[in-house]
Structure 1
């Protein structure tokens, strides 16, 4: 069953002759418990797709549903509450508050929601991402990979139904990036976490259950059980047919 479902989604920016069609009638689903990578050439609509699916941007037309909730019908307040309580976000920039410790950064979403973190709740989440012994360190005292792990723990502390990740390893070296991707893979395998990840990296995409390829604002191909080699070959094919 699809946890996230987009149906006939268009997203147009601007108007008249200056209008840009970022998404062109996208219909796609993301099954519960799956790990999906979204790829495509520059300007294909990857980030716009993620933003519309996550309720960060409103489509011009079409339907976006999360576990039966129609996002396009929600008010701005309703969208804010949905994003806070039911969706997790991880981005290329770690977006940690430098004055707070790792533990304080992770508990921040709970405090913003008016919840008092339960005893051991935040520490357990840090332990799950392998940082139990770094909870009192501030971001400047952590490596890039450790900072991204803190960001992942922060995204998961509210127990979201879906985790959206936009180039989560883009600021990391290859070794650290593989460690973070292994963590995401483990979340899907061991905890049934639904993950939708935008990436340009075939190695990153190979950690997913399937890869969805976009071109010109539309899904044009899918690849199940991807390998870095098969993903790179599909991307090469998409780039080759792009107009000059």
Structure 2
């Protein structure tokens, strides 16, 4: 039996206490198989970002289990959790978060340098080649288009060979054509390199590039679609919006 790349079991995340307490995730269980591309969707306030942060070790659940392979994240010390995020988790944000004074290859190498490693130039060039930007290695962010900057950010996330690559609206700041280029690249990473990808998005077209879409509503799992089309995703989001809370 294939081990899950990541599994969340009965995860609860509550903010505040007493009468002011707000529960963002309610007893949520999800698993992500190796080499799969999953999109997470739902209305504003449905818990998408909280789910991503708990899964990526950026936030600790109030209760429940988060497993990366066989490693339980919720019991790790802050130091061990920091090392795990650095070595085994990749994260791509809507904002590219590139350092403007560094070249593309220097931005990509940064996670390894922060970990005390001196990356080989071939290692950095290889990961830039995976995102189609080896010819832009010496360009600074200001000399790159938005889509190219996001691909550099993805290469930076991939340099540590993460078990799971998380994306928080990674195409949200891009025009539709550039966004589709980035999404096709993510699709290729899952298909050709068995990279596990979990992406939060609000866009049905973006979600249609995934193997599966999971829908959240009020912090609970509200459904899923396999092999989704943009039309089916949009119809499900419309249905959820019309369903009384």
1:197 to 188, 196, 199: 199
How many corresponding residue pairs? 243
- Shift of residue 181 of structure 1? 0.2
DSSP 3-state at the match of 2:5: strand
C-alpha distance in 1 between matches for 2:68 and 2:50: 17
For residues 158-210 of structure 1, what are the alpha-carbon distances to aligned partners after superposition, in whole Å with 9 as ceiling and x for unaligned? 10010000000000000000000000000000000000000000000000000
Partner in structure 1 of residue 98 of structure 2: 96
1:5 to 1, 4, 7: 7
Partner in structure 1 of residue 25 of structure 2: 23
C-alpha distance in 2 between matches for 1:240 and 1:169: 26
Identify unmatched segments of 5+ residues in structure 1: none
2:232 to 230, 233, 238: 230
Partner in structure 2 of residue 76 of structure 1: 78
Partner in structure 2 of residue 120 of structure 1: 122
DSSP 3-state at the match of 1:120: helix
C-alpha distance in 1 between matches for 2:223 and 2:50: 18
DSSP 3-state at the match of 1:239: helix
**TM-score by structure 2 length?**
0.98
C-alpha distance in 2 between matches for 1:133 and 1:52: 36
C-alpha distance in 2 between matches for 1:178 and 1:128: 16
**TM-score by structure 1 length?**
0.98
- Shift of residue 141 of structure 1? 0.7
Mapped pair 1:136 → 2:147:
no
Q: 1:48 to 1:242 in 2, by over 3 A?
A: farther
For residues 133-179 of structure 1, what are the alpha-carbon distances to aligned partners after superposition, in whole Å with 9 as ceiling and x for unaligned? 11111101100000000000000011001000000000000000000
C-alpha distance in 2 between matches for 1:24 and 1:37: 19
C-alpha distance in 1 between matches for 2:244 and 2:102: 46
- Shift of residue 116 of structure 1? 1.1
DSSP 3-state at the match of 1:78: helix
C-alpha distance in 1 between matches for 2:134 and 2:68: 32
Partner in structure 2 of residue 173 of structure 1: 175
Moved over 6 A (4+): none
C-alpha distance in 2 between matches for 1:20 and 1:200: 23
- Shift of residue 59 of structure 1? 0.2
- Shift of residue 242 of structure 1? 3.9
